[in-house]
A and B are shown apart, each in its own frame.
Chain A
Amino acid sequence: MQTDAVVSGSLRNRLVLILIGGAAVLAIFLFFAVRSYAVQVAQRGQDNILLASVTSMLDAAAFRDGVAEVDIPYAAFSMLNTPADDRVFYAIYQDDTFLSGYNDLGLLGENQGGQPSFQTRDYRDTSVREVTASRTLIGADQRTEIQIALAQTQDALADTLDQISRNAALLGLGFFALAVALSIWATQATISPLSRLTNSVTRRGPQDLSPFTKPVPQEMAPLVTSLNSLMGRLDQSLSQSEDFIAEAAHRVRTPLATVRSYAEATLLRVNKEENREAMRSMVKAIDESSRAAGQLLDHAMITFRADHLEREELDLVDLVRDLILRLTPVADMKDLTLDLRGEDTVTYAGDPILLQNALRNMIDNAMKYSPADGAIEISVRSEPVVAVTVSDQGPGFPLDEIETLTARFTRGRNADNTIGSGLGLTIAQDVATAHGGEITLRNREEGGACVILSL
Chain B
Amino acid sequence: MSLNLSLYTVSAVLILDNEGSRLYAKYYNSPSIESSNSTSHTTTTNNTNTNNNNNINSDPYFSTLQQQLKFEKSLFSKVNKVNQDIVLYDNHLITYKQTNDIILLIVAKINENESLIYSIMANLFESLNILLDNTIDKATILEKYDIVTLTIDETIDDGIIIESDPAIIVSRVTNAPAAQLDGVHVNIDKGLFDAFSFASKKISERLQQGL
Task: Say whether A associates with B.
Answer: no
